Structure 1
Amino acid sequence: MSTLVLDKASRWFGNVVAVNDVSLTIGPGVTGLLGPNGAGKTTLMAMMAGFLAPSSGHVTLDGRPVWRNTDTYRHVGLVPERELSFGYLTGRQFVRANADLHGLADPGAATERILAVVDMVEPAGRRLDTYSKGMRQRVKIAAALVHDPSVLLLDEPFNGVDPRQRMHLMDLLRRLGDEGRTVLFSSHILEEVERLARHIEVVVSGRHAASGDFGAIRRLMTDRPVQYAVRSSDDRALAAVLIAQPSVQAVSLGSDGLDVQVADLGSFAVGLPGWARDHDLSVYELSPSDESLESVFAYLVAR
């Protein structure tokens, strides 16, 4: 099990600051690195992989510096966003080349093993320039995994991948995380992150904006009203009761219940059972309706 740590890491290119004073820890399991395009995700990945030096601060893997430490390459696999430029190679040749570069004892066996893991044995004899986008992504992952690293970094791995191949890649990443590997993937597509990783790291404009379970992050946003979905025995009557409460900012009545905007969560949670009981009403459902990753992300980007 491996842990990546960024300690006040920054990276600038001339007068452009791509990453600004970022501190975060990435441990075993699957973590989503979330941010809009241009937020600095690719720069962070390159620093974590040891391909780019931090302009200030430190990046370490299990306490050892990543930059200019060739031993870390044995423990890290990187799947870059950029397209493969070796179209004249077959998938098998491309993966085998990476096995050879790592000096594996039996590169041929390692190549065949990892091609089977990513379900690419059958098309491995074809040239890369005949592959679909999803097949190229899978063979890049195979090349990154051929030396059996404990850390896998993937930069926008689902871009341009069709739904079936996306499901296959998600299953593979979940399995790798369950094995105890440290898997970090970047994305600007919220649905992908929400389906694959509960733990997220959010970067906005080169800065670290949030870290943790996105439901927990939402609950820490005390300066933003909480949205609840409520169903009861008489939604119209309950709406009249709720709108009179100081802790409730707004109530809207829909076909499937109430949407309630709450300013004081503690008072609302404590008071709701009593308000319903006093008016002979039964509450059937109470659930947060804005604890999705989309809601959390929209708030963090707008801050």
Structure 2
Amino acid sequence: MSDPAIQLNAHAHARNPGLPFDLDRVRAVQANTSAIERRAASLPGRRSVKKDWQAAWLLRAITCIDLTTLAGDDTAGRVRRLCAKARQPVRADLLEALGMGPITVGAVCVYHDMIEPAIEALQGSGIPVAAVSTGFPAGLSPLDLRIAEIERSVQAGASEIDIVISRRHVLTGNWQALYDEMRAFRAACGPAHVKAILATGELGSLRNVARASHVCMMAGADFIKTSTGKESVNATLPVSLVMVRAIREYQRQTGVKVGYKPAGGISKAKDALTYLALMKDELGDDWLRNDLFRFGASSLLGDIERQLEHHVTGRYSAGHRHALS
């Protein structure tokens, strides 16, 4: 089962330079809600992988996880333990039984104050640190403070920045304001890759999700991401279908590949398989690698490791055997 390509450089892919704002292009974007929902409902049953194939897909899913802790009671000790799990996400005996060498997750995602202990704990691993920014999760602080927050996180060593957009710009159809905001965030990130969180559960319609996706890519987002994980509705298959098709259309128009990150509510290994199948079907194999695809998750890794142990031993283990930190 060994796959030498499974250890991937999270920043191997060319960045998205963006485009000049084009309101006509934005207004031309539509979404057929009933068709999208029918297609999304069919996704879980469209592709079934079993046995060694399933184990291989689950190992690939692990390499695409942004292992995340965004709790009010985060401490440096908790972050260091999470980083230890990021460096060795699967027990060595399971990897040996599967014929695999060491693997790591795609990144570790934390608040700004936890960047320093994360970088120290990940030193030498090649795992990037992602920081949430711009008044996460609501994005309602003054613009100059949100830009300064990005700059401070980049200075602290974060190589990825997960920003949140102003939902009001989408809800009022002020696409120029959304573009200008996203462009300012992209500039503030400098060399750090920027993931634009749309908070799709708060955007009102799938058409708004589609248009916001296009505007953020037009403004230079390297990734578009569903959710903060703090909304009442987070990643869903209909929203994901809309966003990945926006990515496909953007690539058709520009030749540029933009990444996708579903986040919030993805906690089961079977869900990870469904999302990987969606990416393969809609965008192709390039989006099965962590320079173009991530899961925003915390508990997902534990369930995947549990499924891998079942594959190796034939028995399900207790959850405490796969603790994250």
Shorter-chain TM range is: 0.3 to 0.5
Of structures 1 and 2, the larger Rg is shown by 1
Higher relative contact order (CA 8 A, sep 6+): 2
Report the TM-score, using the length of structure 1 for normalisation. 0.37
Report the TM-score, using the length of structure 2 for normalisation. 0.35
> Counting strand residues as a fraction of each chain, which structure ranks higher?
1
